[in-house]
Structure 1
Amino acid sequence: MHYLTIAEAAEALHLSVPTIKRYIYEGKLRSTKLPGGQHRIPQSEIDRILSPDAASGAHVEETAPPSLAERVAVLERWVTDLEMEVERLTAALEVVSRYCALHIGEAPPADEKAARPPSRHRLLVLGPGCRRCDSLYGLVQRALLAGGYRNVSVERVKDLDGITDFGPVLTPALVMDDAVILAGRIPSERDLRRILERHLGPPQPPDR
């Protein structure tokens, strides 16, 4: 099934982006929410609204103005979404600021870290402890367990000094063996499996 972004749905229905968001929150337009919080609208919903039986958009036009309580509920959901985005961007800005203060104008530090045995890998989840960081950490743990990657450890890095060791990276981020392999988003389970397979090889068979 084909899915559209909110902007694409707004263009297809000749409506504004805020109107599409309001219809989603009010249940007038069915959507799927991705792990990162973005909404995707099935093409079938667009076809339903544009069909001749829709009576020129009657399915999405309001039959009565929303009540004050309904308007407040929609605004509260918008505020919650905005607060989460502000939290993520604030953490990312703090990381960039700390990195610039510590490293801009300095010579690149010598690599003093001892080489690790090639048979052992280390994953780090970078983030100041936000909900998105917690989600990525849990997703990585489940993916490692499902893939049978027994030679991989996963740890959290929450302090800004530790995060800025890897550069001005957007959080949440995923680091493997001191290299950033994912930043600024929460992947789907399928995408994460592909990332792990690309860096760790195919899933391991279970112990017998």
Structure 2
Amino acid sequence: MAPYEALYGRKCRSPLYWDEVGERKMLGPDLINDMIEIVRQIRLRIKEAQDRQKSYFDARRTELKFNIGDKVFLKISPSKGITRFGIKGKLKPRFIGPYEVLDEVGPVAYRLALPPSLGNVHNVFHVSQLRKYVYDPKHIIHYEEVSLTPDLNYEEKPIAILDQKIQQLRNKSISTVKVLWNHHGQEEATWELEEKMREQYPEMFM
């Protein structure tokens, strides 16, 4: 119910409920009927828009169901303070694993067998954070362990400056450096503002 109805025990006298609180005698049936019809059309069109958007979502949605013993990938995200990887998504590892499903905790949550390096992370995850891994004996996965915080965030740190260039604009010059980040190869190095890098990582320029 609306807050007004919860506070006063009756519906607010608005065009939405004029047909329910006895306002017909005051304003006339024709005006009330017009208002009711307009509100009915608005509700109908909102319902049509909601149904249309729901159909778009359902067409791309698949119900995930895992069994005990299945292997799954676990979704992670970078730290919120590092905005560069929110823009350049190719640099951030999206999933780690695979890890074994130990138990089903309710219809949409699962308990995973995490390695000792993630001992400080709660091992129950919502199904939206998991991706199924199809087991193949010939498939050998090589991955580097990422140091994660309890909320499954991680921080990228620069390890080397590979190159430097000056971009000449109309009124000023901008100095940029090519930075190599840990957990990534040289092909994934990014160009960053030299001033910003000197401020955040002065040890890289000593």
TM-score (norm 1): 0.29
Structure holding more helix per residue: 1
Structure holding more strand per residue: 2
TM-score (norm 2): 0.29
Q: Based on CA coordinates, which of the two structures has the bigger radius of gyration?
A: 2
Greater relative contact order (Cα < 8 A, sep 6+): 1
